[in-house]
Amino acid sequence: MSVDAARAAGLLMLLSHPVRLRAFAELARHGKDGCTIFEMSIHLDLPRPEVAELLGRLVGAGVATGTGNGTYRARDGVLREAAEALDRGQPIAPLLAGYPKLRSYFAHGRLTSLPPTLSEKAQQMAELFARFVAVDGVLTEAEVNNRIARAADDVAAVRRMLVESGWLERDRAGTSYGSGRVLPASPVPGAAAKASPEPGAADKAGQVPGAAEKAGPERRAEKMASPQPSAEGKTSPELHAV
């Protein structure tokens, strides 16, 4: 977690306490006029020493201004800044920066809905998740699901979108997946590295990141064509788009 994201998480944790949240809400409600300790003690129905300590914690956390018996005010935009810092720390954020038309489909780094099928945005969404999943060699369905789940709750819908758009190829048994198309250059230089799968994901799959590319197209084709067990105990030698 970045320093900004850690600080934002700390602010939100501070305001998760109901009394602190009420105090901050009162300061925000009074705007530029603010509140004194005496006025806040009336609003919260708490003794002044307790209110003084409460406001001191808000000031110390950077969500309010004021000292001593003076007027305390909420800092404008502090929660928005905290939310934006957390958004920037989400795994898909670096890649999403290159697809501005898709931002409305995400909230705090999580996919909330998919664009209409066959639309230009649907094609962009499929390409975005193809970059995000970053298939390296052959992955099991569980490994594909784990990568998608870092940015989406409806994992099945995103996986189906990737298969139908041709970015993923699936074997006949539906147990293994490989890359179906070559991705164009990233619209945001360096974003692919920042949004790469979590450490160890490739090792769990028995793959070394980038090994297929280093070994050449013959090596990748050999891996993707290796037999996969089906439900009936048979093997399916190839991956194909469905």
Across 180-184, 191-195, 231-235, which has the greatest mean pLDDT? 180-184
Whether 97 contacts 90, CB under 8 Å: no
| pLDDT band, very low/low/confident/very high, at 124 (cuts 50, 70, 90) | very high
Which residue in this structure is represented by tokens 């099928």? 117
The confidence score (pLDDT) of residue 87 equals: 77
% pLDDT > 70, the chain: 75
The 10s digit of each residue's pLDDT in 214-240 is 334 444 444 444 444 444 444 444 444
> 158 versus 68: which is more confidently predicted?
158
The confidence score (pLDDT) of residue 81 equals: 79
Across 81-85, 117-121, 196-200, 210-214, which has the greatest mean pLDDT? 117-121
Amino acid symbol at 171: D
The confidence score (pLDDT) of residue 61 equals: 87
Could you tell me the pTM of the whole model? 0.57
The confidence score (pLDDT) of residue 240 equals: 44
Q: Which residues lie across from 139 on neighbouring strands?
A: 177
> 234 versus 118: which is more confidently predicted?
118
Q: What is the distance between the alpha carbons of residues 159 and 204, in angstroms, rounded to a whole number?
A: 20
The closest of 159, 136, 149 to 205, measured between CA atoms, is 136
Amino acid symbol at 228: Q
For the chain, the farthest-separated pair of C-alpha atoms sits apart, in whole angstroms, at 80
- Annotated domain spans of the chain: 3-80, 90-240
Whether 91 contacts 151, CB under 8 Å: yes
% pLDDT > 90, the chain: 51
The confidence score (pLDDT) of residue 83 equals: 75
| pLDDT band, very low/low/confident/very high, at 167 (cuts 50, 70, 90) | very high
Burial of 94 (0-12, 13-18, 19+ CB in 10 A): buried
What is the dihedral angle through the alpha carbons of 166, 171, 176, 179, rounded to the nearest 10 degrees?
-30
CATH of domain 3-80: 1.10.10.10
Residues written for the chain: 242
| pLDDT band, very low/low/confident/very high, at 82 (cuts 50, 70, 90) | confident
At residue 209, does pLDDT exceed 60? Answer: no
Q: How far is CA 121 from CA 60, 71, 115, 118, 211, in A?
A: 44, 50, 6, 8, 32
